Amino acid sequence: MEIIDIHTHHAAPQPQAVVSLRVLQETEKFVLDESQFYSVGIHPWDTQSESVEELYGLLDSLASQPPVVAIGEAGIDLNIGGPLFRQLNVFRHNIELSESLSKPLVIHDVKAHDIIIGALRDLKPSQKWVIHGFRQKPQIAEMMLRAGLYISFGAQFNPETLSIVPDDRILAETDESELSISDVIKRISAVRDKDMTQIIAENTRLFLGL
């Protein structure tokens, strides 16, 4: 079955999705389902904890397992995250892990577009990056596209923004929405005026390197 949902927090099994796991201390007891695809990362919200870097070993161990096909979600959140210096340190670790394991990066970006693109330009990663749950204006999307990022759209998005993103940069997600991924893609398809299912499936396959 083709993967068409790049990012969901709904519990496995999700045969058409990449299930996103936030790495917390209790994740140590989590057993990955070999038949499910996952992404794992340290979420910027968890940088509020001064001991967040103690999770690096657990993250690295989980990320190296075969069911994990991407790193994240990771990134910068200027609303809810911890001190910026700590967020940057954790984000960099996620990036370095993505590079060392040759697994793409799923990014959480809240009011931090310039910081995300700055990290991309400074570190020059070889792995693909996607901004998940994108709801921003077209101007921000254009900035992300120029930097080479993919853009993932969920249940809520800016139709004007979706209309300017090239077919080959569009991914889809359910995140925490009650909508199915099929319904999300129907909304995307309505704006694009064509069925986007196979395009998104192929983009997801290429993004994940499957």
Q: Which CATH number is 51's domain given?
A: 3.20.20.140
pLDDT of residue 98: 99
Which residue, among 128, 135, 172, has the nearest Cα to 5 in the 3D structure? 172
Total of domains in the chain = 1
pLDDT of residue 26: 63
pTM above 0.75, yes or no: yes
- Specify the long-range contacts of residues 161-165, CB closer than 8 Å, at least 24 apart: 161/134, 161/135, 161/136, 161/137, 162/188, 162/191, 162/192, 163/191, 163/192, 164/138, 165/141
Residue 114: CB atoms within 10 A of its CB come to 10
pLDDT of residue 24: 83
Q: Domain limits at 74?
A: 5-208
Residue 128: CB atoms within 10 A of its CB come to 18
Print pLDDT tens along the chain (210 aa): 789 999 999 987 888 999 999 998 667 678 899 999 999 999 999 999 999 999 999 999 999 999 999 999 999 999 998 999 999 999 999 999 999 999 999 999 999 999 999 999 999 999 999 999 999 999 999 999 999 999 999 999 999 999 999 999 999 999 999 999 999 999 999 999 999 999 999 999 999 999
